[in-house]
Amino acid sequence: MFRLLRVHWIAFFLLAVGAVSGCEIMPFARNSATTRAMWVTRRDFKTKEDCARIAEACEKAGFNTILFQVRGNATAFYRSSLEPWAEQFDYKDPGFDPLATMIEAAHAKGLKLHAWVNAVPAWYGLVPPADPNHVYNKHPEWMWYDQKGKRQPLTEKFYVSLNPCLPEVRSYLVAVMRDLVTHYSIDGLHLDYIRFPNEDPVIPPKSGLDYPRDAKTVALFRAATGKTPDKDAAAWNRWRTEQVTNLVRDIRQMMRDVKGSLPLSAAVGAVPENASTHYQDPKTWLAEGLVDRVMPMNYTGDAKLYEKRCEYWETLDAGRGRVVMGVNFEKADAGVATTEIRHALDTFGGYAVFAYASIFPSPNDAADRPDAESRAKRDALGKALLPLLQELARVRPAQEK
């Protein structure tokens, strides 16, 4: 397999010529077989006009795929028959359908639109959802409970979660996904938080907390293994991991039944061997064909660490094109981001960038970047990286030659 590094000098030459001559970058031929994806969070759009701007900005930057967040914490940014409108819209129809609008805008620019959903999270913040029909309020028995029967507390810093060990919860989530893929002409479904969101502060170090320990979950584990969580912690961890995989398996089967070959992808941890910490098993997902692509969240400002993590996935995938490596521009300066995105393209033939607001203005700037200095830093990063992103989109990966 040829390496893109062998052709990157061409890109640099063209960039240098453009810089010296002051010429504008000319339109480039789209390379539809390569995934050049941008994650667009639910904070990056509030109006129809925002959706149009997002599509235009992503197209000009050389992206060909938008991962558009339509479900954050069991609320919807589309017309769902099962979950309420998002709290950002005060649980009311905003007068337009963000997902339908974004699909139309993306397709008009020749871009693919994958619906991005947070799977396991149920809520975020210290105040419970105001809508009584929200799953957090309607099904308290579906949430996490610890060894003492205490419900997972709300926090201002992280999600509280649904319990994927319960068959009824998995059935509910599959129904939510079915509703989405049935009624919208999306080009794929992208699963995020398809794991246990159990990091600190949910489970502080040395706290001894363990989720989910409700009586029904423990009984299911005992029925499956003949053991208890305290008697065999390793078996308990494996079983919880299997329940997350069962959720992925059920979503995959539903999609095959409803939409045939509609692509399914998943955001996963940066290192495959560490995924079990969150009861996530991307190796099995790939081995069994439960997902078409994984997108490792290789988020670091250390270029050498980034490349080391890429090695794990390169070995695991063996050139089969099932990995789209993530890059987080928020974690790096322009030089490191350039190195990382080149490496992702060279090694895997594509990349996924987190996230839109790291290089483009967002309607959430007032909250995320309230001071002029932070906005100027973001604008400078975008200005530095945009020519590179455009130029790399012109280069055909060796796998396609």
> Domains of the chain, with CATH numbers?
5-400 (3.20.20.80)
Tell me the HSE value of 61 on the side-chain side, using a 13 A CA sphere: 23
CA distance linking residue 77 with residue 371, whole number of Å: 28
CA distance linking residue 141 with residue 155, whole number of Å: 19
Amino acid 397: pLDDT:
47
Phi, psi dihedrals of residue 156, rounded to the nearest 5°: -85, -5
In sequence order, what DSSP letters do the residues of 191-256 get, joined into one string?
EES-S----TTTS-TT----S---HHHHHHHHHHHS--TTT-HHHHHHHHHHHHHHHHHHHHHHHH
What are 105's strand-pairing partners? none
CA distance linking residue 311 with residue 51, whole number of Å: 36
Q: For residue 45, give the nearest of 329, 326, 356, 327 by alpha carbon.
A: 356
What are 295's strand-pairing partners? 267
Amino acid 33: pLDDT:
63
Amino acid 157: pLDDT:
87
How do the pLDDT tens digits run along the chain, 401 residues long?
A: 434 433 343 343 333 333 333 333 333 333 346 899 999 999 999 999 999 999 999 999 999 999 999 999 999 999 999 999 999 999 999 999 999 999 999 999 999 999 999 999 999 999 999 999 999 999 999 999 999 999 999 998 899 999 999 999 999 999 999 999 999 999 999 999 999 999 999 999 999 999 999 999 999 999 999 999 999 999 999 999 999 999 999 999 999 999 999 999 999 999 998 999 999 999 999 999 999 999 999 999 999 999 999 999 999 998 899 999 999 999 989 999 999 999 999 999 999 999 999 999 999 999 899 999 999 999 999 999 999 999 989 864 444 43
Amino acid 394: pLDDT:
84
Amino acid 7: pLDDT:
37
Amino acid 291: pLDDT:
98
Task: List CB contacts of 146: < 8 A, sequence separation 6 or more.
Answer: 152, 209, 210, 211, 213
Amino acid 12: pLDDT:
39
